[in-house]
């Protein structure tokens, strides 16, 4: 445990039995069970996420904080604080304070980190005596969205069983009936972010640095603006920054991991060795090589996996990825003795499969990468540091490493915005769309594959077609997108 992660006086101990809930007077005074909620589950693949002022509001955040506190206390072996962080969105202050009010109403102590990457909250939760962590962020979503991510005491995503308990409380299906003898306290603990910074650098400090490397960082106006440049400079790199102020109006807008064009141009302009683009909360990262070519999560997994494999640090030569992983990556990894397990899309599913199988490396094409040697959750800054170190140690450019890895199958991904939540989440009941998918699969046979799914983080239907050639992929992508637009959009 890091020495500075210590309890702050102000909250008395209590048993899990005492923590079943609050008296009815407090329950009613914070307005529980008076908010209209959608019929579909609130928790998606990465917490609760939606448009601020529509799904997400301060009253709802207050209730989420309260019921999160009740559930965390119920399952805790001993009482401890909850660690709370946020990204730079304009709504994050409001939601963070409302959540803190709910958590303290549940009798818990809150350690508030302020602006901090999501993996920082997870890490600090895992090494302290905290009983959980909460991050306010909508990750790569646009500025008008926000979200609430909840972590267990070990820093992992909150299990679905506990999510269900929180949601049951929000929907009035369970009652908080036992009394808690004290209210919680809110403490500003901004200094703890420094412990996370030290942990990022520690695995590399023993011998390898980034001296002589010129690195461009696109910080997406988000949570990593203060931390990432200092970490890379302290490791010896020359750093050029883009979108490096906390700006809630511009977070993720034409920048970051969803828009690599500016990063690619800057890498070429400055003759840099590598560029990294983070999303709004810095739990994912994508790279650009020295020629300006985009390097996605499949390549990151292959290169990092091969490095770990060569150092006998990859049990069973196993990587866990998702159904989005490119066939070219899978075939190349198998050719060097590797095994790939695919899961549903979402880093929580990747993490669960890694824990089940004992895999040490896993992630998503979109840039969520988890290496259990060094972290308890996906971490964009940690991944970027290790990929940069890998390039430095190899003594060749990132473009050369990519050229020596694999060729991707042409893969097209189109997002169709479907604002009606019920239509979006129930898309599989749409017969015309299902018939179009069946026709495309029959036509392509073994020359391609199709994945259609409702996003767990955005109001979109994602249509992915991967085929032996670009013409085939383009044709069937257009056909399927047309069917989704015709039968699911208003």
Report, as residue numbers or ranges, the catalytic residues: 139
Q: How far apart are CA 258 and CA 255, in angstroms?
A: 7
Beta carbons of 219 and 285 less than 8 angstroms apart? no
Q: Which residues face 412 on adjacent strands?
A: 465
- Which run of H or E residues covers position 302? helix 297-310
List all residues 6 or more positions away from 17 whose beta carbon is below 8 Å from its beta carbon: 178
Q: How far apart are CA 183 and CA 165, in angstroms?
A: 22
Length of the chain, please?
Answer: 490
The residue written with tokens 């730079």 in the block is 88
What is the distance between the terminal CA atoms of the chain, rounded to a whole angstrom? Answer: 53
- 388 Ramachandran zone, left/alpha/beta (phi>0; psi -120 to 50): alpha
Q: How far apart are CA 169 and CA 313, in angstroms?
A: 43
- 236 Ramachandran zone, left/alpha/beta (phi>0; psi -120 to 50): left
Residue 459 main-chain phi, psi, to 5 deg = -80, 60
Q: Which residues face 188 on adjacent strands?
A: 112
* Number of Cβ atoms within 10 Å of the Cβ of 90: 14
């Amino acid at each position: 445990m890091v020495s500075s992660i210590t309890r702050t006086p102000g909250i008395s101990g209590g048993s899990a039995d005492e923590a079943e809930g609050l008296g009815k007077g407090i329950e009613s005074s914070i307005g529980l069970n008076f908010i209209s909620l959608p019929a579909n589950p609130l928790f998606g693949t990465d917490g609760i996420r939606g448009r601020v002022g529509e799904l997400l509001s301060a009253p709802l955040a207050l209730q989420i904080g309260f019921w999160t506190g009740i559930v965390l206390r119920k399952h805790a072996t001993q009482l401890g604080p909850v660690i709370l962080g946020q990204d730079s969105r304009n709504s994050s202050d409001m939601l963070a304070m409302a959540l803190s009010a709910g958590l303290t109403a549940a009798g818990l102590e809150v350690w508030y980190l302020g602006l901090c990457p999501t993996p920082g909250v997870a890490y600090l939760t895992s090494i302290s005596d905290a009983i959980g962590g909460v991050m306010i962020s909508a990750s790569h979503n646009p500025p008008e969205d926000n979200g609430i991510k909840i972590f267990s005491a070990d820093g992992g995503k909150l299990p679905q069983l506990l999510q269900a308990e929180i949601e049951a409380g929000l929907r009035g299906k369970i009652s908080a009936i036992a009394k808690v003898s004290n209210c919680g306290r809110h403490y500003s603990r901004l200094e703890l972010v420094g412990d996370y910074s030290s942990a990022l650098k520690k695995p590399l400090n023993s011998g390898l640095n980034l001296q002589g490397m010129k690195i461009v960082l696109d910080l997406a106006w988000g949570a990593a603006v203060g931390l990432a440049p200092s970490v890379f400079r302290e490791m010896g790199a020359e750093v050029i920054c883009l979108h490096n102020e906390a700006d809630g109006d511009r977070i993720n807008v034409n920048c970051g991991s969803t828009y690599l064009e500016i990063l690619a141009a800057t890498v070429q302009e400055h003759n840099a060795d590598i560029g990294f683009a983070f999303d709004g909360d810095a739990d994912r990262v994508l790279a650009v090589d020295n020629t300006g070519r985009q390097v996605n999560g499949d390549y990151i997994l292959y290169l990092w996996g091969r490095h770990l494999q060569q150092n006998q640090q990859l049990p069973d030569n196993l990587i866990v990825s998702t159904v989005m992983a490119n066939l070219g990556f899978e075939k190349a990894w198998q050719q060097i003795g590797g095994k790939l397990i695919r899961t549903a899309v979402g880093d929580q599913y990747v993490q669960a499969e890694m824990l089940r199988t004992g895999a040490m490396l896993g992630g998503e094409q979109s840039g969520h990468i988890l290496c259990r040697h060094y972290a308890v959750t996906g971490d964009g800054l940690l991944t970027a540091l290790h990929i940069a170190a890998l390039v430095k140690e190899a003594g060749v450019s990132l473009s050369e490493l990519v050229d020596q890895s694999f060729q991707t199958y042409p893969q097209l991904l189109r997002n169709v915005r479907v604002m009606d939540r019920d239509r979006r989440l129930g898309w599989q009941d749409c017969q015309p769309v299902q018939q179009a998918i069946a026709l495309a699969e029959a036509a392509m046979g073994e020359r391609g594959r199709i994945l259609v799914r409702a996003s767990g983080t955005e109001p979109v239907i994602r249509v992915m077609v991967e085929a032996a050639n670009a013409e085939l992929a383009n044709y069937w992508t257009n056909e399927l997108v047309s069917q989704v637009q015709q039968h699911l959009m208003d």
